[in-house]
Amino acid sequence: MSEPLPASERTDRAGLSALADPAEGDALAGRADLAARAARLDAADELGTLRERFALPEGIVYLDGNSLGALPVGVARRLAEVVTQEWGTSLIRSWSEGTWWTAPERIGDKLAPLIGAAAGQTVVGDSTSVNLFKALVGAARLAGPGRTRMLVDAATFPTDGYIAESAARLTGLTVTPVDPGEAAAAMGPDTAVVLLNHADYRTGRLHDLPGLTRAAHAAGAIAVWDLCHSAGALPVGLDAHAVDLAVGCTYKYLNGGPGAPAYLYVAERHQQAFDSPLPGWNGHADPFAMTPHYTPAAGATRGRVGTPDILSMLALESALDAWDGVSIEAVRAKSLALTDFFLECVAAYVPAGAVEPVTPADHAHRASQVSLRTDNAREVMAELISRGVVGDFRAPDVLRFGFTPLYVGFADAERAARTLGHIFG
| 263 close to 238: Cβ distance less than 8 angstroms | no
Q: Please, what is the angle between helix 410-424 and helix 377-386, to 10°?
A: 120
- Alpha helices (H) along 350-400: 377-386
Cα–Cα dist 296/11, whole Å? 72
| Environment class of 339 (CB within 10 Å of its CB; exposed 0-12, middle 13-18, buried 19+) | buried
The gap between the terminal CA atoms of the chain, to the nearest Å, is 22
Amino acid residing at 68: L
The helix (run of H) or strand (run of E) holding residue 213 is helix 209-218
Rounded to 5 degrees, φ, ψ at 259 are 75, 15
Q: How far is CA 213 from CA 28, 195, 371, in A?
A: 48, 10, 26
Q: What residues are annotated to the active site?
A: 157, 226, 251-252, 400
Cα–Cα dist 263/49, whole Å? 28
| 206 close to 199: Cβ distance less than 8 angstroms | yes
Q: Where are the beta strands (DSSP E) in 87-231?
A: 122-124, 149-153, 174-178, 191-197, 222-226
Peptide bond into 396 cis (omega under 30): yes
**Closest alpha carbon to 320 in 220, 221, 209, 231:** 231
The alpha-carbon radius of gyration of the chain (Å, integer) is 24
